[in-house]
Amino acid sequence: MKNQKGLFGDDTTPWEQDDAQTGLVASVVMSTGPEKAFDYLVPDELIGEILPGRRVYVPLGRSNRRVMAYCVAVERKEYGQRKLKHVLAALDQQTLVSSHMLNMTQWMADYYLASWGQVLEAVIPAAVRGNAGTREVTLLSVPPQVAMQLATLKLTDKQQKVLTTLAAASKPMTPGDLADKCRVTQAPISTLRKKKLITSEVRRVSHAHFDDLDIERESAKSLSEDQAAALQTILAQVHAPQPKPILLHGVTGSGKTEVYIQAIQNVIDQGKQAIVLVPEISLTPQTKQRFASRFDRIAVLHSHMSDVERHWQWKRIASGIVNVVVGARSAVFAPTPHLGMIILDEEHDTSFKQDSVPRYHAREVAAKRAELEKVPLILGTATPSLETFYRAKQGQYELISMPRRIGNRPLPAVRTVDMRYDKTTGYRGAISRQLYQSIQRTLQQDGQIILLLNRRGHSTHIQCPACGHIVKCPHCELPLTHHITDGSTVCHYCDYRSTAPRVCPDAKCGYSGIRFSGIGTQKLEQEVKAKFSSYPIIRMDSDTMKKPGSHEAALEKFRNQEVRILVGTQMIAKGLDFPNVTLVGVINADTALHFPDVRAGERTFQLITQVAGRTGRGDLGGEVLVQTLSPDHPAIEAATRHDYALFAERELPFRRDFQMTPFAHMVRIIARGPAQASVELFMQQVGEEIQRFTAEKGGEISQQGPAPAPIEKLRGNYRYHLLLHSFDRHLMRAAVLHCREKITVPEDVLWIADVDPIDMM
């Protein structure tokens, strides 16, 4: 017989009771502390209030600490001989999580190796949990039997006045309002409440209100042949009993948004709601407008929202009033009561993966939600992730291709500029002769230009030519970047800042000719200003775009052609639709190419293809120049031809041979701590434990590492990682759980497991 003592902190010995007991049992999970679910009895007075998807208070442990928990199931059942404690109270009057969402969060917890409680905590915004924008008010009223005998009561004048005023009021009043109206203090009101001549109740009211966007209406476009075919395929899935996810692979400018919009219209016509997920960076006014100009009652969820507004939007969505929810990653949890479709635009975008617990990917969560709620999921992109593309090839997803641009506009011609040759001439700038000539020609022809450089700051490398000393972050040991705007050197990983050195900081050297080299967007901006001084230019990177609204303001200047040249990091590579952009220059295509990351080639292909897609969108045509030191690299070559199929054809066999994603599953284990030796030792233990476990189970998990992570030190912590690959996802999961249970983690080490990792640094 299993002794339950200790688990629940109960003092009864189970064998004292022999009868199996039956009762209403609530299972709850907690967001911190123990991972497992606990059972509690629902006392009679709380029946109907304790429901799945609501928060409750329960006693925990020997001390019966009162803790908050999420109720995930309520069931009348036999609970054997255990002595169950009682739920103490209900915290929510409304259900926060529907049964579908409970299933989905349970799946997430399992898949991403997180606790269910943690997942629920992440799914329900803090603003909703904290009831932001609402407050509790006490409302007073006079019971009818009191009101009938008002005249017979013996009261002071003030009490009399209060009671008659309240009895005559059309609705309950707060103590404050009542006192104001009668020009009295709280004293007579309190006395009346004590005498039970006035009753009170506490209610939560919202004081928030946000107006709907007021945006000019646009009508539906008549679809191109490709769009019409795409819409038909989608609608067939809308009406399927168990719809298949759809990959909408459409080249840049093929008109994917119009397809989404007409598909959503169909969903709304059936009285259902649609969720549209976009990368955070694409949540621009242009995106909002595209949807708001076509639909009533949309809710846009973004990260700059106040808690009050977030709570208000959540409630609107939950009430079913909202037709279309547009938002970044976490909008996949929007509490739409009758979901009809999920759209995930730019499905390849890495911002859909969350880099804190639970480390979910919105695309996978969306696929699960779509499956549970039996609605279609549309994944749109010009450059599908190989994961999605592979599933489509396997027939798991429906594939729609839109290989042509709207109006049969040609895709822009892409040329590479081999920067290796420029080196021999001693040329040190960012802009090659060819690119210089193209910029000049474009400016003369009144065109606009986008220049992409995926490195912010001025000089990305500060080194003493005398002793070779490289200026690095003291906490991360990574090279600092010089920011000319404030004369500082900045660590791009931990934001450590110091003043730029004038002489070599190495005390033994002190040489005065310290060299700033490597090109960031600030230096590029300077070079462009020097070379094309009569043309206005704007720089967009996370340094210039710190203030809310600056992103929109910059794009507006570019849209109305006040600015002719736009310089920026990858934030300018996506989604922009400006017909007057006739030249795109990629300053250095190789920035991501040599990262120790299985997706380095894929990222490079995506970035070039996406930024190239920003041009040739009008009648003026377009041209793209890609500066690179690796013009023959397959990813760059495929991108210059706009040839996704070619890219995938070359990349997939390589991934298969090395047992990598999308063929095998991957889990990345990262450990960090201030003492290098202890982190290293711990990771070796993890590696060995996994090996032992796998051998015992007779399965196969291949390991890369453990080794120092590409970012070896971050904020004073040494970092090691271990990559696990396997065809058997469940085995890997079991192996990680086994390590969690088996290995004692040193106090100064923290470790995490990232399932389907994206970030390899």
What is the token pair recorded at 209? Answer: 């209100």
Residues 6+ apart with CB under 8 A from 275: 324, 325, 327, 331, 332, 334, 336, 339, 341, 342, 343, 366
> Under the criterion CB under 6 A, does residue 223 sit at the interface with ligand ADP?
yes
> Under the criterion CB under 6 A, does residue 229 sit at the interface with ligand ADP?
no
Q: With CB under 6 A as the contact rule, which of the stretches 250-258, 513-521, 670-678, 714-722 interacts with ligand ADP?
A: 250-258
Q: Which residues pair with 565 in a beta bridge?
A: 449, 537
The burial class, CB within 10 Å (0-12 / 13-18 / 19+), for 642 is buried
Residue whose CB is less far from Zn ion, 352 or 496: 496
Q: Tell me how far, at minimum, the Cβ of 479 lies from Zn ion, in Å.
A: 10
Q: Is 264 helix (H, G, I), strand (E, B) or coil?
A: helix
Choose, by CB under 6 A, the member of 255, 520, 568, 757 that binds ligand ADP. 255
Q: Tell me how far, at minimum, the Cβ of 471 lies from Zn ion, in Å.
A: 12
Q: Tell me how far, at minimum, the Cβ of 711 lies from Zn ion, in Å.
A: 9
> Under the criterion CB under 6 A, does residue 133 sit at the interface with ligand ADP?
no
- Give the phi and the psi of residue 570 in degrees, each rounded to 5: -55, -15
CA atoms within 13 A of residue 227's CA, in its CB half-sphere: 20
Residue whose CB is less far from Zn ion, 58 or 473: 473
Residue whose CB is less far from Zn ion, 369 or 458: 458
Footprint of ligand ADP on 333-392 (CB under 6 A):
none
> Under the criterion CB under 6 A, does residue 253 sit at the interface with ligand ADP?
yes
Q: Tell me how far, at minimum, the Cβ of 382 lies from ligand ADP, in Å.
A: 7
> Under the criterion CB under 6 A, does residue 221 sit at the interface with ligand ADP?
yes
Pairwise CA distance, residues 646 & 638, whole Å: 6
Beta strands (DSSP E) in 644-760 are 665-673, 702-714, 717-726, 750-755
**Nearest residue to ligand ADP, scored by beta-carbon proximity:** 255
Residue whose CB is less far from ligand ADP, 618 or 746: 618
Binds 254, which of Zn ion, ligand ADP, none (CB < 5 to 8 A, cut-off by type)? ligand ADP
Q: Which residues pair with 724 in a beta bridge?
A: 667, 703
Q: Tell me how far, at minimum, the Cβ of 521 lies from ligand ADP, in Å.
A: 25
What is the token pair recorded at 629? Answer: 């030191």
Q: Tell me how far, at minimum, the Cβ of 400 lies from ligand ADP, in Å.
A: 12
Q: Tell me how far, at minimum, the Cβ of 227 lies from ligand ADP, in Å.
A: 6
- Which H/E stretch holds residue 290? helix 285-292
Q: Tell me how far, at minimum, the Cβ of 280 lies from ligand ADP, in Å.
A: 17
Footprint of ligand ADP on 390-429 (CB under 6 A):
406
Residues 6+ apart with CB under 8 A from 293: 215, 216, 217, 218
Q: Given the DSSP bridges, would you call strands 298-301 and 65-80 parallel, antiparallel or unpaired?
A: unpaired
Binds 250, which of ligand ADP, Zn ion, none (CB < 5 to 8 A, cut-off by type)? ligand ADP
| Total residues at interface with Zn ion (CB under 5 A) | 7
Residue whose CB is less far from ligand ADP, 388 or 416: 388
What is the token pair recorded at 677? Answer: 């030796």
Choose, by CB under 5 A, the member of 83, 181, 393, 475 that binds Zn ion. 475
Footprint of Zn ion on 495-514 (CB under 5 A):
496
Q: Tell me how far, at minimum, the Cβ of 44 lies from Zn ion, in Å.
A: 58
Choose, by CB under 6 A, the member of 227, 438, 522, 569 that binds ligand ADP. 227
- Determine contact, residues 579/559, Cβ cutoff 8 Å: no
CA atoms within 13 A of residue 398's CA, in its CB half-sphere: 21
> Under the criterion CB under 6 A, does residue 618 sit at the interface with ligand ADP?
no
Name the DSSP class of 548: T
Q: With CB under 6 A as the contact rule, which of the stretches 180-188, 255-263, 551-559, 730-738 interacts with ligand ADP?
A: 255-263
Q: Is 322 helix (H, G, I), strand (E, B) or coil?
A: coil
> Under the criterion CB under 6 A, does residue 224 sit at the interface with ligand ADP?
yes
Q: Tell me how far, at minimum, the Cβ of 579 lies from ligand ADP, in Å.
A: 7
- Determine contact, residues 141/198, Cβ cutoff 8 Å: yes
- Which H/E stretch holds residue 236? helix 225-238
Pairwise CA distance, residues 433 & 440, whole Å: 11
Q: Tell me how far, at minimum, the Cβ of 480 lies from ligand ADP, in Å.
A: 38
> Under the criterion CB under 6 A, does residue 330 sit at the interface with ligand ADP?
no
Residue whose CB is less far from ligand ADP, 577 or 637: 577
Q: Which whole-number Å values give the CA distances from 203 to 206, 210, 686, in the listed order? A: 10, 22, 53
Binds 476, which of Zn ion, ligand ADP, none (CB < 5 to 8 A, cut-off by type)? Zn ion
- Give residues in contact with ligand ADP (CB under 6 A): 221-224, 227, 250, 252-258, 406, 577
